[in-house]
Every structure is written in structure tokens, then in C-alpha cells.
């Protein structure tokens, strides 16, 4: 019974403290185009976050994230606490405007940030981008809650079993 209690306690304590997804808003403009993207990213534990999803508005309203190394060597890393929020590999997304689809990679450049693109008509280009970042909220991952709940249930069950099956002691 003691082993079961110990296992339940260890299960509850095994939840990593950084096991949560953070939501950030990236706002940017390039020339007359502007937009923002809400990105959900998971901490890598070294002040970097890996972007896992993107939802855009404005110029990036139909944006969908491109997996790492899917367009121009993107790594989809975000550095919200650094002097530059993106590295030179940046993050990439695809979108469609009218009948034209395109891929975009936003990354750190020599003098700020740049967006490199390729559209379905074969046009390519690079434009400077103004980029800002805001933190929205921290959201616990469902797996963390499930692990915590399992540990709590096991602790409760171990306590019930202990009371139920402990023989009464004689008092003298």
C-alpha cells in the first residue's frame, strides 16, 4: 500500500513546471500590408519557444504554419525574452489571397526583420518587416492536467484503501 501511495505522489510531482503552451501575438507590417498572428508556442526550457500553431488576421488571415525546414530552412523558434524575437531561420506560414497562394518566412535580418516569399505564380521576393510581440496568456496542456488528476485520484484511492483494510487495534 505504501508503494502505491509513493507511486501516486511521484506521478503528481512528475508534471514539468514548464509544461504549458504560451500564446503570443506577433504584429507586423511590410509596405502597405499589415497583419497579426496569434501563435501558440511551447517552451524549450532555454528561453526559446517552438511555435506549434498560428492563426492570423489582416494580411495573414488564412495563415497556416509550415513545419520546420519546410520553407527556406525555417525552425519556427520564438525568443520572446531576447533582444530579437526571431532567429535568422525564422518561422514560416502559407496563405492564400484571391487565387494566389504563397509561402512566407519571417526571420531576423541585418537591420531588423524580413519576410521572404514565393507565390504560386513563381514570384519571389524579400521585403523588410516591422515586427512586434506581445504575450497573451499561459495555458496548461491537457496532458499535464490528466497527469495531475491521475496522481490525485491515486492518492485518494490509496488513502481510502488504507482506512478500509487496516485492522482495528486493541486498546489495553
pLDDT (0 to 100) of residue 89: 97
- Residue 37 predicted with pLDDT over 90: no
C-alpha grid cell, residue 85: 524575437
- Which residue spans within the chain are E strands per DSSP? 20-30, 33-43, 49-58, 64-65, 77-78, 91-97, 100-109, 112-119, 124-140
Percentage of the chain lying above the pLDDT 90 cut: 37
Query: Measured between alpha carbons, how far is 66 from 77 in angstroms, rounded to an integer?
Result: 12
Query: Measured between alpha carbons, how far is 157 from 137 in angstroms, rounded to an integer?
Result: 34
| Averaged pLDDT of the chain | 77
Euclidean distance between the first and the last CA atom of the chain, given in angstroms as a whole number: 27
Among 14-23, 55-64, 128-137, the least confident range = 14-23
Contact (CB, 8 A) for 30 and 128: yes
Among 7-16, 64-73, 80-89, the least confident range = 7-16
pLDDT (0 to 100) of residue 98: 83
- Residue 4 predicted with pLDDT over 50: no
For residue 3, CA distances in Å to 56, 74, 146, 148, 156 come to 50, 47, 21, 18, 14
**pLDDT (tens digit per residue) in 132-161:** 888 765 555 565 555 566 655 665 565 555
pLDDT (0 to 100) of residue 136: 67
Query: Measured between alpha carbons, how far is 84 from 14 in angstroms, rounded to an integer?
Result: 33
Phi, psi of 3, rounded to the nearest 5 degrees: -65, -40
| Residue that has been written with the C-alpha cell 497583419 in this structure | 35
Amino acid at each position: 500500500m505504501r508503494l502505491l501511495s509513493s507511486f501516486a505522489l511521484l506521478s503528481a510531482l512528475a508534471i514539468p513546471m514548464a509544461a504549458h503552451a504560451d500564446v503570443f501575438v506577433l504584429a507586423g507590417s511590410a509596405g502597405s500590408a499589415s497583419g497579426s498572428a496569434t501563435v501558440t508556442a511551447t517552451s524549450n526550457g532555454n528561453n526559446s519557444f517552438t511555435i506549434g500553431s498560428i492563426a492570423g488576421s489582416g494580411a495573414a488571415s488564412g495563415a497556416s504554419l509550415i513545419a520546420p525546414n519546410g520553407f527556406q530552412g525555417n525552425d519556427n523558434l520564438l525568443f520572446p525574452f531576447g533582444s530579437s524575437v526571431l532567429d535568422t531561420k525564422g518561422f514560416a506560414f502559407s496563405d492564400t489571397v484571391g487565387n494566389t497562394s504563397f509561402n512566407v518566412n519571417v526571420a531576423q535580418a541585418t537591420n531588423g526583420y524580413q519576410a521572404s516569399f514565393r507565390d504560386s505564380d513563381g514570384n519571389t521576393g524579400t521585403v523588410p518587416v516591422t515586427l512586434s510581440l506581445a504575450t497573451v496568456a499561459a495555458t496548461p496542456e491537457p496532458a499535464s492536467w490528466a497527469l495531475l488528476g491521475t496522481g490525485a485520484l491515486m492518492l485518494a484511492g490509496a488513502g481510502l484503501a488504507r482506512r478500509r483494510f487496516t485492522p482495528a487495534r486493541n486498546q489495553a
